Chains A and B, each alone.
Chain A
Amino acid sequence: AQKVTQAQTEISVVEKEDVTLDCVYETRDTTYYLFWYKQPPSGELVFLIRRNSFDEQNEISGRYSWNFQKSTSSFNFTITASQVVDSAVYFCALSGDAGGTSYGKLTFGQGTILTVHP
Chain B
Amino acid sequence: ETGVTQSPTHLIKTRGQQVTLRCSSQSGHNTVSWYQQALGQGPQFIFQYYREEENGRGNFPPRFSGLQFPNYSSELNVNALELDDSALYLCASSQGTSVETQYFGPGTRLLVL
Q: What number of B residues sit within 8 Å (CB to CB) of A?
A: 28
- CB of B90 within 8 Å of the partner chain: yes
Contact B56 A105 (CB under 8 A): yes
- CB of A88 within 8 Å of the partner chain: no
Q: What number of A residues sit within 8 Å (CB to CB) of B?
A: 26
Known: A45-B43, A104-B56, A105-B33. Is A50-B106 also a contact (CB below 8 A)? Answer: no
- Within 8 Å CB of A107, what residues of B? 45
- Within 8 Å CB of A45, what residues of B? 43, 90, 92, 104
- 13 cross-chain CB contacts under 8 A: A4-B42, A43-B88, A43-B90, A44-B106, A45-B92, A47-B104, A50-B101, A91-B42, A104-B31, A104-B98, A105-B58, A108-B42, A109-B42
List chain B positions with a Cβ less than 8 A from chain A.
31, 33, 35, 40-45, 48, 55-56, 58, 88, 90, 92, 94, 97-99, 101-107, 109
List chain A positions with a Cβ less than 8 A from chain B.
4, 33, 35, 37, 42-47, 50, 91, 93, 95-98, 103-111
